[in-house]
Chain A
Amino acid sequence: MFIRPEDPHAVVDRLFREEQGRAVATLIRVLGDFDLAEEAVQEAFITALETWPVRGVPDNPGAWITTTARNRAIDRLRRRRVLAEKAELLGRQALIEEELAAIDPDAALDGAETMSPIVDDRLRLIFTCCHPALAMDARVALTLRTLGGLSTPAIARAFLVPEATLAQRLVRAKRKIRDAGIPYRVPDSHALPERLDGVLRVLYLVFNEGYGASTGDRLIRRELSAEAIRLVRVLGSLMPDEPEVMGLLALMLLHDARRETRTGPAGELVLLEDQDREHWDRERIAEGQALLERAMRMRRVGPYQLQAAIAALHDEAPSAAETDWGQIAALYRILGEMAPSPVVELNRAVAVAMADGPASGLDLVERIAASGQLDDYPYLHSTRADLLRRLGRRAEAAAAYRRALELTANGPERTFLEGRVGELGRATA
């Protein structure tokens, strides 16, 4: 068989993203030990970096990684066995070694692609990492670390927490998994819908952290979004009959298609209506639309499909003015009925303002503001400010922009809001 010569370093890089989660997941199942599994897989990749440039890339690099990691784990266990004294421990270790030796890396690789009934170990790992008995920030960190293979410093930078804090968070989460008996398996069918919902929430949060503008470093944010998309893709391949998984993937792609146009050359914020639609990623939009259509055909509508449908309407419109705002407002109404939330209501108000004029939108916004629920939410104030500005109520608009500024830490968004306050100030002066 002829194999196109490819730079071994590039192969290892690509493979790390694609395969490390799978190898770690399989080893965790057998070892029952997150740390040992991660270390063994890391060693396997280091060995790959050392040997592949000399001996060439193996035919099936993914299987090679799993096999090598398995052998490294066996080595480590043997070394431990020398130190172990208790017969009970020795027996357990011998059993684990037998199981390790029985791992068939090729079968593990075939699992996902052929949709065989064998549960992919990654699916177990996703449900364990996103278990509701873990704190949300621990679920996020653990998912990115074990499934995504992101380094602890990278995750710490992405979430603006000290590295030591994040490392501690991971240690605590792994300890709780072990000591509280959090299982390593896909939940039973009666618990599955709720638990799957929890998994999707974690992945969406990771995507938004990378897409939204609440944290610093641009490169790391891009990596977070890419990782979230990759993980939902994996989940979708493992659970092909779940329309909400497909819906979430569609939603992410349809948003991510606009990523490059959301900020200007100086990193400043560009609003949807001002974005250069020529530069939206048409390939991503097409893929998102196709996924959404497939999901909708399953006739089990959920919040992610509805949000994806809204994103698709934006992506299809040639301009903000030519967007089907009436349809978007209607979708937000259904979404609000399915999962009531003041943020959804605020989005509906924006759509209503575009469809029926700023006064109708402002009515809805004032109702949300009066409820006091979103008083600390900067977008409530910036939306209110924008509608007041469009209605010519400049002094009130400037006051609302200032309130939004008080609540905004992000650089580009601050610059945008300061600009608006300045314009209004000049105009009234």
Chain B
Amino acid sequence: MRYLLLIYTRETDVEPSADEAAASHAAYGAFTREIRERGLLQAGEALTPTSTATTVRVQGGEIVATDGPFAETKEALGGFYLIEARDLDEAIETAAKIPAASVGSIEIRPIWELPAEFAMAAGETGHEVGAAG
């Protein structure tokens, strides 16, 4: 089964020190390597802070773009991994190893595998990402 692991952390205005940033990159590097070697990794990206986010809605046929995320929340989406795991237990075990799990939280969402006829385009993209990962 495929699961999306959504990484939520508290955003701060304070820039991390060079040491902190290096430690964080090393930790994520090690985690990513491990799940790639285990054949779990399909995709994974880090996101820039929510201060760079734009929320789009269509209201009465008009595109309304606003600054920032829709709701003020304590923790913000900071990145994600898409993994292929045996079952929820393996997904939980994997999520727990994401460095942010000990300071923030990881939301695990099973991928809704749509039938091919409904998801032709999405399916093809998925294969490309899978092959690249």
B87 within 8 A of A: yes
Decide if B110 touches A180 in the complex (CB within 8 Å): yes
- Interfacial chain B residues near A187, Cβ < 8 Å: 89
B91 within 8 A of A: yes
B93 within 8 A of A: yes
A182 within 8 A of B: yes
Interface string of A141-184 (1 = CB under 8 A from B): 00000000000000000000000000000000000000111110
Decide if B110 touches A179 in the complex (CB within 8 Å): yes
- CB contacts between A and B, total, < 8 Å: 26
Q: A181 vs B92: C-alpha distance in the bound complex, in angstroms?
A: 11
Decide if B93 touches A182 in the complex (CB within 8 Å): no
A89 within 8 A of B: no
Interface string of B93-131 (1 = CB under 8 A from A): 100000000000000101010000000000000000000
Q: Name which residue of chain B comes closest to A183, CB basis.
A: B87
Decide if B110 touches A191 in the complex (CB within 8 Å): no
Picked from B88, B108, B110, the residue with its CB within 8 Å of the CB of A183 is B88
Q: Please give the distance in Å from A176's CB to the nearest CB on chain B.
A: 9
Q: Name which residue of chain A comes closest to B85, CB basis.
A: A181
B33 within 8 A of A: no
Size of chain B's interface in residues, with CB distance under 8 A? 13
Scoring A179, A180, A182 by chain B CB atoms within 10 A of each residue's CB, the highest score goes to A180
Decide if A181 touches B93 in the complex (CB within 8 Å): no
Dominant SS at the A interface? Answer: loop
Size of chain A's interface in residues, with CB distance under 8 A? 9
Decide if A191 touches B91 in the complex (CB within 8 Å): no
A317 within 8 A of B: no
Q: Name which residue of chain A comes closest to B92, CB basis.
A: A133
- Interfacial chain B residues near A131, Cβ < 8 Å: 88
Interface string of A70-82 (1 = CB under 8 A from B): 0000000000000
Q: A268 vs B33: C-alpha distance in the bound complex, in angstroms?
A: 65
Q: A133 vs B85: C-alpha distance in the bound complex, in angstroms?
A: 16
- Interfacial chain A residues near B1, Cβ < 8 Å: 181
- Interfacial chain A residues near B85, Cβ < 8 Å: 181
Q: A247 vs B11: C-alpha distance in the bound complex, in angstroms?
A: 45
Q: A182 vs B87: C-alpha distance in the bound complex, in angstroms?
A: 6
Q: A191 vs B96: C-alpha distance in the bound complex, in angstroms?
A: 12
B86 within 8 A of A: yes
Q: Please give the distance in Å from A16's CB to the nearest CB on chain B.
A: 31
Q: Please give the distance in Å from A175's CB to the nearest CB on chain B.
A: 11
- Interfacial chain A residues near B93, Cβ < 8 Å: 191
Q: A109 vs B48: C-alpha distance in the bound complex, in angstroms?
A: 58
Interface string of A377-412 (1 = CB under 8 A from B): 000000000000000000000000000000000000
Decide if A180 touches B89 in the complex (CB within 8 Å): no
Other than the given A180-B108, A180-B110, 4 more pairs (CB < 8 A) read: A131-B88, A133-B92, A181-B88, A183-B86
26 CB contacts below 8 A, A to B, read A131-B88, A133-B88, A133-B92, A179-B110, A179-B112, A180-B88, A180-B108, A180-B110, A181-B1, A181-B3, A181-B85, A181-B86, A181-B87, A181-B88, A181-B91, A181-B110, A182-B87, A182-B88, A182-B89, A183-B86, A183-B87, A183-B88, A183-B89, A187-B89, A191-B89, A191-B93
The chain B residues found within 8 Å of chain A, CB to CB, are 1, 3, 85-89, 91-93, 108, 110, 112
The chain A residues found within 8 Å of chain B, CB to CB, are 131, 133, 179-183, 187, 191
Q: Across the A-B interface, give the 10 residue pairs with the lowest CB-CB distance, nearest first.
A: A183-B87, A181-B1, A181-B87, A181-B88, A182-B88, A180-B110, A180-B88, A183-B89, A179-B110, A133-B88
